[in-house]
Amino acid sequence: MVFLSPLALFGLGAAVVPPLLHFFQRREPPVVAFPAVRYLQETKRDAQRTVQLQHLLLMLLRILAVVLIVLAAARPVVTGGVGAHHEPTALVIVFDHSLSSGAVQAGTRVLDDLAARARETLREAQDGDAVWLIGADGIARRGTPADLLVEVSRLAPDARRLDLDAAVRQGARLIATSGYARGEIHVLSDLQRSALQSTGNSQQSTTGERCAPPGVDCRLSAVDSSLGGLPILVYHPRGDPPPNRGAVLARPTPSLWLPGGGSVRVGVGGGPAGAAARTTVTLAIDARSLARALVTGGGEVELNAPALAPGWHAGTVSLDADELRADDRRAFAVRVVVPAAVSFGSAAEIGSFAQEALGVLAAAGRVRLGAGDVRIGTSPAGGGAVVVVPPADPSVFGATNRALEAAGVPWRFGARREREDTLDAPAVPELAGVRVRLRWQLEPVGGAERPGDVLARAGGDAWLVRSGRVVLLGSRLVPDETTLPLTGAFLPFVGALVNRIARGESGVIEAMPGDPVALGDRVTAIASADSVMSVRPGAVVTAPAAPGVYALRAGGDTIGMLVVGADPRESDLARAADAEVAALWRGARVSVTDNANAYTARRFRGAGRSELTGPLLLVALVVLIAEAFLAAGGRLKRT
Amino acid sequence: MTTLASARSGRLDLLDPREVASLGGIEVVARGVVEGFLAGLHRSPFRGFSVEFAEHRPYQPGDEPRYLDWKVLGKRDRLYVKQYEEETNLRATVVLDVSASMGWVGDAERTLTKFDYAARLAAAIALILVRQRDATGLIAYDETIRALVPPRARAGQWPLLVRTLGELTPAGRTAAERALPRVIELLKRRGMVILISDLLVDRERSLQAMRYLRHRGHQVSVYHVMDPAEQELQGPAEARYVDPETGDSVVASAADLRRAYRATVSGVVAAWRRACRTSGISYHHILTDMPFGTALRRSADARARAG
């Protein structure tokens, strides 16, 4: 039993009023002259016990009446009962079976708790109700309660993150267009604080094809609904969420490995609750455990991998088991290539520092000197990848630009600019902090840059550009134009330039489940360990729901890898406060509870349960009638 | 309607005592009541038992038809009854309780005080007796003898009785058990004793005195006068009920005790009736809202049954 207005229970204190009146309100009664007092004395003597019992019974009846009325005011509700019907209602159940719902809390999986609530609600739904179920994929499925019961039983923790705010607003729009006078949204979730942070135009916007009823656009991007006055009933499991650590980052460094090996940067998240304890991180590549390290929650560690054979390699980083197993493992992929064969015209053309650097790298086995994979020069002519540096002679720029145009490169060298700026190159960590004194502005032909072409900028101008297999540098690699040759990052940069940048990076695409992924023009299929899905070249596809590594194929060749990993925010199980929830859906009538009975009592606006207010008032009325009859000395019976 | 019809027909004995009392003093009321009462009877309620003829007197309704003088009727076509010597020797004494409790009335708008009712009843009884030429007297008492009119059969006896009754007012305590021995001393010759009281006295001691009267050869009739409000307890939810005579009080709720009180009063009346019957005493329970004629008829019927 729960009380919809528990504050009214304070009124139970009024139950002491009848005894207080009975015992303390003893005022002197009026005096009446009556000669037959002797008869009255005799009567009272004989009837004393009966009268006392009658008074006691009266007092008990009055106390009982007060208690019954107060209990009725508190609106007690019990589950089940007679007459559990409600008016036809448009009901949207937002069922958050995202990755975090797999956590075990107090011996029970969160998902099982939420599913139990969903099943109760669906069993209570009536034929006249319109019911939708919105899962972690953000798709609203309409069906009969029986159909949706089956659907709920099939649900498992999903690596996709559910944007609760977007789902609720989608539900509100469905209710608004349903034609039903009454509507409710039930949010069954572990109520992660991160789940309330809207992602805006999220991945679900492309997945509206399964939305029902037909003709209704359920994509979250189409949501524009008011929550004014709408009942939103939020249920989350009772108790604090368990501490959790999750592998939130597994990134090979560098992204393209040479046969000598590389390292993998591993991040451990999980929010403040899991920050204190240390956990073991294990690195495995090609199903072989290669390295281990201890790391505290919230920290990062770099694990070195031994030499690997050239080719594609899939690996995982895994943590010690905890209450949420699904985020203890994260996949990654790395491509191991042989050192690039580099050729260049002369030291005057590329600068002596670059020439020396290539010599050192060659001596270290990081590059091979000679024609083959990459050529460095002032012209894009020739096969293979080309790194074009600005010519030392300004009169040559016209010929260089014409050659670039002839090679189909949509970039050209522009005006000379002499200003010292720091490079901004997130994709090329080797350039961090490098300053540029003199540069030739790299200008896109036609005025519009292609997304992804610019790898580094100086003062807002493009400085390092890649277009196809041509890479353009805005400055010559000499100390007069940039500090780069004088820094320790020069050798790694030159190595990365010829091995990774010029040869087209690693070919690894990272995505979260359900994210839209733009595949390259050459990709014709996506393959997992047990399936192959053909795709149209250049298509944008939805990343698979299951985390893992998928091969991107062009014909029979693997030309890249798609690494799907869960949203790192799913590892942070910290729960949002009730006030945060209410503030998020301001205007709606938000009710948050962790009590299954309270949730049961409040759904369908409390109409489907047996509220005891009426029966209690009826009993109170009967008690008051009995009290009146008894107080009147049974006059009714005598008459 | 019944009341108006009764008034027009002169049957004051059947009217509401409160209305009858408003018509005049004790004398007027008693005469009216007796006239009406006797008109409805076939024989006199209080008769003697002598056989020695004394004189004739005009027939009055209620006289025994057997005492009609048929010869006079045949010769003069008039109704006369024969009076006998001993009949005039019946000595009747009305013993009236005038204690403070007799002055109480539950609802002054609807009923007379017990004393007013008892005085008019006593006057009516006395008038019937006097008309039969019985020697009729009056003793009024509370703790002591308040008034004494010795029994006489003379013509001015009844006005004297009425005047005496009119001068009495209820006061003092009732102690019949103490007053009755004095009454016994005053009733040396045997006769009829008519006790009119609310009987708020010690029953056993009072009965002992009445039994003694009975032992001395008196016919004893007891009129237990009670206000309707004494029979049916009324009052506020809770009140302190005070006895105007003794000052005794009790706090009680009328609603709580009404039922039990009614049973108690019924028990008291039944106890008086039973005790009187076993002692050969005639007992009559009279409520003050009862028409005087009804009260008189009850006593007459009782006497008729007694032979």
Task: Please state the three-class secondary structure of B40-93 as a single string.
Answer: CCCCCCCCCCCCCEEEEEECCCCCCHHHECHHHHHHHCCCEEEEECHHHHCEEE
Given a cut of 80, whether residue A608 has pLDDT beyond it is no
Interface of A with B in 17-46 (CB under 8 A): 28-44, 46
For residue A31, the chain B residues in CB contact (below 8 A) are: 239-240, 242, 249
Mean pLDDT of chain B: 80
Is the CB of residue B160 less than 8 Å away from at least one CB of chain A? no
When scoring A39, A49, A54, A639 by the number of chain B Cβ atoms within 10 A, the one with the most, hence best to mutate, is A39
For residue B101, the chain A residues in CB contact (below 8 A) are: 35
Given a cut of 90, whether residue A360 has pLDDT beyond it is yes
- The answer to whether the beta carbons of residues B97 and B90 sit under 8 Å apart is no
For residue A634, the chain B residues in CB contact (below 8 A) are: 259
Residue B80, strand partner residues: B58
Is the CB of residue A427 less than 8 Å away from at least one CB of chain B? no
Report the distance separating Cα A561 and Cα A313, nearest Å: 9
pLDDT at A217: 41
Average of pLDDT values for B254-281? 89
Average of pLDDT values for B157-162? 90
Given a cut of 70, whether residue A612 has pLDDT beyond it is yes
The reply to whether omega before A568 is within 30° of 0 (cis) is: no
Interface contacts A/B by beta carbons within 8 Å: 95
- The answer to whether the beta carbons of residues A101 and A112 sit under 8 Å apart is no
Given a cut of 90, whether residue A610 has pLDDT beyond it is no
pTM of the model: 0.53
B190 pLDDT band, cuts 50/70/90, is: confident
Is the CB of residue B258 less than 8 Å away from at least one CB of chain A? yes
d(CA B204, nearest CA chain A) in Å: 15
Show the tokens assigned to B45: 């309620």
pLDDT at A639: 33
pLDDT at A456: 93
pLDDT at A207: 33
What pLDDT digit, counting tens, does each position of A146-180 carry? 999 999 999 999 988 888 988 999 999 899 888 88
The DSSP 8-state label assigned to residue A118 in this structure reads: H
- The answer to whether the beta carbons of residues A166 and A199 sit under 8 Å apart is yes
- Which residue did the predictor score with more confidence, B104 or A48? B104
d(CA B231, nearest CA chain A) in Å: 9
Given a cut of 70, whether residue B11 has pLDDT beyond it is no
- Whether ipTM exceeds 0.85: no
What pLDDT digit, counting tens, does each position of A443-463 carry? 998 878 888 889 999 988 899
Question: B267: nearest CA in chain A?
Answer: A39
For residue B256, the chain A residues in CB contact (below 8 A) are: 47, 51, 54-55, 633
Given a cut of 90, whether residue B208 has pLDDT beyond it is no
Is the CB of residue B264 less than 8 Å away from at least one CB of chain A? yes
Residue A338 has a CB neighbour count (10 Å cut-off) of: 12
Given a cut of 70, whether residue A11 has pLDDT beyond it is yes
User: Is A34 in Cβ contact with B248 (below 8 Å)?
Assistant: no
d(CA A49, nearest CA chain B) in Å: 12
pLDDT at A505: 65
Average of pLDDT values for A610-617? 81
User: Is B250 in Cβ contact with A633 (below 8 Å)?
Assistant: no
pLDDT at A531: 86
Buried b (16+ CB within 10 A) or exposed e, B171-202: eebbbbbbbbeebbeebeeebbbbbbbbbbbe
d(CA B42, nearest CA chain A) in Å: 38
Average of pLDDT values for B61-81? 83
d(CA B103, nearest CA chain A) in Å: 10
Given a cut of 60, whether residue A503 has pLDDT beyond it is yes
